[in-house]
Structure formats: structure tokens, C-alpha cells
Structure 1
């Protein structure tokens, strides 16, 4: 009977066959220990010379790293194993022998590993990160489906910037100019006017020449948009969503978090509600902490976000940023038109902003004014203006950066390990 490593718990004291790769091995005289992986997990196969034929034992001792195999044996419980089970091997069939596999158990430099990213993904740590990433995606769909959201797919090729910036990848769309999307938000607003509550999940692109551990050129965003929802309503959705994702990872990725040596006690406390401070309060706090370089009207950098986050054991909302440093579509606070009804959600432990969101301008005249201020008079933005002309309603939305969230929940230092094939400033290979 064929099975997978993830399903061996269903076959205790049964003989099964697993298609696998040899992750590593060690042997001592009359016994060989095969560390096997099949994509669903890792398991140890024990080959005892006295219990197998001579051919099987000799092959087990000669197997090379990352050779592909069919391994047949009896599944038994083993409390010493992270999986809780091991295989008592009866037969090994070699599919393909791998020769001189380049990534050995010794230490390798980052550039070497990035050049071999297509193989580095096979390591136990990278495997665990990808499984956490997958669980975050699964829990995302689960949450928004439960809350009555409809998934909508905005275009990747657009005729204009979503935020009025110049950090865009330009291309030709036949005889027109086009850009790779930096956000699907404007299109999601249109979708929300049709479907009420919507969310997208897709790739976005930023032509920022940044080399920090928090930045990627191509990354994935989850972008919900909600009709008839104000700023405070949106904050509640955000904290419920993040709480759901974290608790789902804790429940369903225990082995992976253990492989990553993640301190899960710091994640167990991530439950709504989250603390909230205003931008003004954040500036005052930073001045008290000796950050004299930051002034009202400045955006926060990584050191500022980290200092603020260190005062909390949960993600913290920073709300009501100065209007002049935020995107043109953000609604001014009626009580203080110099600030926007917006918030950034800062993750604990120095991982920075994982969500940016706001209530959107729903007044036609005010949006026209913002168009003029930001020089958005071209035809590419006219359809967006019409959303305020035909049945405008209060609405809010936000965007969560998947890779930063994976980094935080996994406890990974650099964001480049949170996506299968990272696109960095000087890296387009593999």
C-alpha cells in the first residue's frame, strides 16, 4: 500500500510503501538510519542488517543525498521522533541516484544558497517555512469565506499607479504604456461596489531599489475591501483576521514551528483586540525614547516601528497619519482634516508593518480635489472617479503583505526565505 509521510499515523503496525528522497543518512555497522522526505514531511527509516536481505542493506549504506527511492517497511510509533513515528525498513528500490548534490549538511553562504534556491527549498527549514506560508494562505481563504467575502482577481497589468507613485515597472501594452500592478486596491473598490465585501490575493510589484531584509521586488498581497464599513469597522476585521491566521498556524503547523525553533509562547498571545495608538502618540513616544530625528509629518522607518512594537506583546495599530504622507484616496478625519482615517499594523519582535489600511474617500467633490492636488487628471483614473459618482457609500479596506507575515509568524530574520523564488534588487535567478 502506498502512502505519504503525512499519513503514516493512519498505518501504525502496517507495511506501506513511500516514494521519497534521501535527505540524509548515517550508519553504524549493522544498522543504517535513513532520513527520508516526500514533500509532506520527514521520517526516519531504520534498516537493520539482520532483518533485510544483503542487497537491501548494501544499497542502504551506499545511498547518496537526494537520491529518489521507493521505501517499503512497517510503521511504528516513536516518541523520540518529531513526527511521532518511524519506519522499520524492509525493502529499498532506487529510482534515480543523485551524484554530487551541491547543498551538503555543511554551512553554505547566502549567495550560494540563493543561486541554488531550486534545491535549497528541499531543506527541512525551507520546507517548514513553505508549509507555514501555505497554512497562512489556507487560513486566509477560510476566514474571508466565513465572513461572507467574495474573492475577486484584479488585473496585474494596469494603465496607472494605484498610489500615484513612480516606483513602477513599465512595459508596452501594444501601442500603450502599461505597468505591473503595485496594488489591486482601486479595482477592489469597484468590486466592493458590486459585491459588498471582497478580497484579492495576488502578486504585486514595487520598483524600489531597496536591499533591506524587509523588502522584495515581487511579493503577494491579500487586499480586502468592504462597502458600508468605516475605519473602526475595518480595524476590527483586521485584528480578527490576523488572530485567526496566527491561531491556525499554531494549531496546524506544530512540527514546522518546532523545526524553525519558533518561540510559540509569543504567538499564543496573538488574539484580538490589538492595542491602538495615534500617530501623534507614537511621535511623542519616540521622542521620549530618544528618537529626536523623527518629526511630525515624517513617515516611520524600521527603527521607529521596532521601538514602538517593543512596548507591546501583540501587533499594534498606529492610526491617523498625516494626510500629506498618505495616498490620495484616504479619507481625512472629519475632526482633524490634517490626518487620515488610516492605520498601519506593526508586528511584534521587530518585523515591522504587515498591514496598511484606511477608510476611502467617498465624496465626489473631495476626490476631484485630491485628483487635482496629485495631478491625476489623465484618462486612466476616470473610471475610479466614477465610483464616487454612481451610488457612493462609506467603504474601507486594507492590504496585508504575505511575506512579512510569514517572516513574523515563522520567526525568520530575512524575508527572502518566505517566498519560493525571491525577486531581489540584483536577483532574477533562478
Structure 2
């Protein structure tokens, strides 16, 4: 007898198959028991009829406790009432390991309790759906960049310097010198772009930032492309094409997961390049018109400001040309102004905030030395990075997309803690 996974059932209609599964929930009505089964690939209902399976198997089925592991044998049949489209007419049930007093029951639980039991909470339908969306975004990311001629490069996690200063870095001892957990692989990706043309990385980054908002994690994953011979305007086009691609991929490949999450897919269906653009100057003027008198030119935007701007659009929106004083040292100055740089943040709609930050990079050697000095950085630590603008420098651009915020937006979940399988938060290192 063939052992299959739930997601393969469409190929086995009318066949008797076996699946390995866990019991997510159950109910019974007289002589019929309905088992909600999951195996990691999906969820399916198993129908156990007493007259078909006999007294002993039916008694076993009715007595199974939540999260008990099982082998279930039955016939795959079409079920048009189910969004999955199939169910299993059970003929045999064998218990592998009984679960006793499983702590997460179908009732409501508090957030802290669920986070303490994150290793088990992942089994729930909603968390399963979020992780499947996350996986699809990752798959579509590799697809997009490989289709467009990018090479995957892995920057180090332990670094001796920082692209944005060391105030928000985790410091550690590296034998007889200081090292830091990476807050971005960008500088290394710039070096890789000078060797390989168009590159991207995908890996964990760390911020020792004492923030506990719904948008922040201590450890999160970043996708960071860098592109040689690409200037600011072309980089924005790559960004909007990439975001459009991952959104449409999730719509196409995760319809059941989006339905399970209660996501309004009509809002995602609108996400197609090109995206609107608004300059920082115009954004400040817009916010003043909306009554945000607290923000002045030269200030960075907070969550309320980003949300107010995003609410004027039903698409992600680029905010471009930020003041030079609030951006990192490596950003290329505007050719006609000395107070702003060639950069943009991409703000997701529906209040999810910034999901991409990017810019054209400085490639003039003397200007780069000057900016490193202005930011009080150790020139010796950045000697290797200065070499990039010393030997065969070219215009180049790049950006970083935060995976967890993007998953939150596309999934429609409120807090980024649900978008990472084991999130690291300001006051949480367990499990």
C-alpha cells in the first residue's frame, strides 16, 4: 500500500492509501467520527464510519487525543464542501504515540503562553499557513533573482565593522579582537557585485535595538541584492518587479493558506509594478497637511508617519531622497543637491511599514573617505571597503528587504513574531 502525504491526495482519488498524521481535532456524531488530520503538508478530514470499520477501530478513533500521531488508511474521495477539495474515508487507524494533556487546546490562549509554547504553536492551522507563505516568498525570491541573472553569495555573520555604526550591534570576542553579529551583509555584497555583477544574499541579521513594537525582531532575515552598473532609478524598478513577483507567487501557490488566514486577496491582487513614488520633501509637506506638526524636515519617519503616507495608496509606495544626515555614510549624494541622497524606502500598504531600504552607493574614493571620517568610523577597519572605490569603481546600487515584515504584510498577520518560526524578541530567547 502506498504511503502518501496530504498534499498528494489529488493524484490518488479513488485509491486506498496510507498517511502518517497527527490529530489536530475531532468530533463525533453518533456512529460517525470526523478526524481533522495534519501531516505538515496540509490538513484533511478523515471520516470514520462505525459500520465500515467495526466496533474496535471506531472506538479507537473516538478515543484519540489531540496531537496523537497515527497511521491512517482510507480511500481518497472528492469533497466539494472542503476548500482542500478531498477527504479520507477511513478504513483503519493505528496509533503511533499517544499525546496526553497537550497544552494548546482549541480554546483561546494568551500571547505569552503561546510564545512560551512556540515549538507546539507552530502546529496550529494559522501558524502552519504563515510558515507556508514564508516558504513561498523564499522560493519566489530565489526564482526571481536567478531568472534575472543574479548570483547567490553568502556574506559572513561575524564581522569586524558595521555598515551603519556599532551602536545597535551585538559585540562578541573573536579570540583577541572585537567582532560583531552582522546587522547587514551589504558591504560584502558590494564587494561581490564588483566580482560577479549582480548578486544577492539571504541570511540572518541582528539588531541590538531595544524596540518592542509589532514590526521589530532582534534576529531577522534579509534579502540583500547589489548590482554593478545600476543607478538609483533602475534599482527602484528591480525592487518593484521583485515585490510584485513574490506577491503574485503567493497568490498563485498559497490560496488555501491565504484563505485560512482570512486574507483579503483583492488587496494583494492590485500589487503590480510600477509603484508610486513620493519625495521626502513632499512627504513632509503631506504630513503637515494631515496634522503631523511633530515632524520637521531632517527628522526620520516613525510608524505613524509611514502609515499615514501609505494610507493614501493601495500599493507599496517609495519615499525617495532622504536627508543626508539621517542616512548611512555609503549613500550617493543627489547630483543637484548636497542635502539629500539617492535612496528610497518602500512602505507597504495597510500599516505594515518599511519593507525595503535601498540606495545608490558612493563610488568616489575621496568622497567615501570623507563620509567615513564624518561618521567617526575607523578608516583602518574599512580599508578593504575603500578598496572597492579605489580599484575600478563603478556606479552601483542595492537594497535590503526584511523577510518577516514582508511575510506579515502578505499574510495579513498583525505582529512579526508570528512570521518567524522561533522569533527572538527584546525579552524572549526561549524556546
Please indicate the TM-score interval, normalised by the length of the shorter structure: over 0.9
Indicate the residue corresponding to 1:87 in structure 2: 88
1:378 positional shift: 3.9
Indicate the SS of the match to 1:376.
Answer: coil
Tell me the equivalent position of 1:414: 415
Is the aligned partner of 1:234 residue 2:231? no
- In structure 1, C-alpha distance between the alignment counterparts of 2:375 and 2:6, rounded to whole Å: 56
Aligned partners of 2:69, 2:165: CA distance in 1, in Å?
Answer: 51
Residue 276 of structure 1 is matched in structure 2 by: 277
Equivalent-residue separation in structure 2 for 1:129 and 1:281 (angstroms): 36
1:192/1:198 contact within 8 Å kept: yes
Aligned to 1:303: 304
Report if the CA contact (8 A) 1:164-1:328 is conserved.
no
| Residue of structure 2 in register with 1:372 after alignment | 373
Give 3-state SS (helix, strand or coil) of 2:149's partner. Answer: coil
CA distance in 1, matches of 2:263, 2:80: 20
Shift in Å, 1:46: 0.2
- Determine whether 1:248 maps to 2:217: no
State the Cα distance separating 1:21 from its structure 2 match.
Answer: 0.1
Distance 2:352 2:316 in 1: 10
Q: CA deviation at 1:55?
A: 1.4
- Corresponding position of 1:116: 117
Match of 2:429 in 1: 428
The aligned residue for residue 16 of structure 1 is 17
1:338 partner SS: coil
Q: Using the alignment, how far apart are the partners of 1:367 and 1:156 within structure 2?
A: 24
- Whether contact under 8 Å (1:309, 1:315) holds in the other structure is yes
Per the alignment, residue 329 of structure 1 pairs with 330
- Alpha-carbon distance, 1:53 to partner: 2.2
Match status 1:44 vs 2:49 = no
Residues 98-177 of structure 1 mapped to structure 2, 5 A cutoff: 98-177=99-178
The separation in 1 between residues aligned to 2:99 and 2:378, in whole angstroms, is 60
Deviation of 1:315 after TM superposition, in Å, equals 0.1
Aligned position for 2:65: 64
Question: Following the alignment from structure 1 to structure 2, what is the Cα–Cα distance between the partners of residues 386 and 143?
Answer: 30
Counterparts of 2:116 and 2:429 in 1: how far apart (Å)?
10
> What is the aligned partner in structure 2 of residue 288 from structure 1?
289
Report the secondary structure of 1:337's partner residue. coil
SS of corresponding position for 2:339: strand
Q: Aligned-pair distance for 1:349?
A: 0.1
Q: Distance in 1 between matches of 2:393 and 2:137?
A: 33
2: distance between equivalents of 1:30 and 1:69? 21
Native 8 Å contact 2:373 2:379 kept in 1: no
235-244 or 364-373, which deviates more:
364-373
**Structure 2 match to 1:224:** 225
CA deviation string 1:120-140 (max 9, x = no partner): 000000000000000000000
Secondary structure, counterpart of 1:332 in structure 2: coil
Residues 70-99 of structure 1: per-residue CA shift (max 9 Å, x gap) = 000000000111200000000001000000
Distance (whole Å) between structure 1 residues aligned to residue 23 and residue 378 of structure 2 = 60
Q: Which residue in 1 is equivalent to 2:405?
A: 404
Q: 2:36 and 2:338 mapped to 1: Cα distance? A: 62
Distance of 1:394 and 1:378 partners within structure 2: 22
Structure 2 unaligned runs (5+)?
none
Cα distance in 1, alignment partners of residues 204 and 430 from structure 2: 18
Q: Which is worse superposed, 362-371 or 123-132?
A: 362-371
**Contact 1:25–1:33 (8 Å) recurs in 2:** yes
* C-alpha contact (below 8 Å) 1:331/1:360 kept by paired residues: yes
| Secondary structure, aligned partner of 2:356 | strand
| CA-CA distance at 1:165 after TM superposition | 3.9
Task: Tell me the residue number matched to 2:388.
Answer: 387
**2:171 is equivalent to residue 187 of structure 1:** no
Distance across 2 between alignment mates of 1:199 and 1:381: 21
User: How many Å separate the matches in 2 of 1:386 and 1:5?
Assistant: 54
CA distance in structure 2 between the aligned counterparts of 1:210 and 1:60, rounded to whole angstroms: 48
Mapped contact 2:169–2:207 kept (Cα < 8 A): yes
Task: Tell whether the 8 Å contact from 1:257 to 1:410 is kept in structure 2 after alignment.
Answer: yes
In 1, the alpha carbon distance for the partners of 2:352 and 2:377 equals 34
Q: Please report how far the alpha carbon of residue 295 of structure 1 lies from its aligned counterpart in structure 2 after TM superposition.
A: 0.2
| Shift in Å, 1:375 | 1.7
Q: Provide the TM-score with structure 2 as the length reference.
A: 0.99
Task: Give the Å deviation of 1:163.
Answer: 1.0
In 2, Cα distance between equivalents of 1:417 and 1:110: 10
CA contact (8 A) 1:219 1:401 kept: yes
CA distance, structure 1, for counterparts of residue 242 and residue 100 of structure 2: 46
SS at match of 2:308: helix
Shift of 1:414: 0.5
Q: Any idea what SS the aligned residue of 1:379 has?
A: coil
Per the TM alignment, residue 377 of structure 1 is displaced from its structure 2 partner at its CA by: 3.0
Q: State how far apart, in whole Å, the 1-side matches of 2:351 and 2:13 are.
A: 43
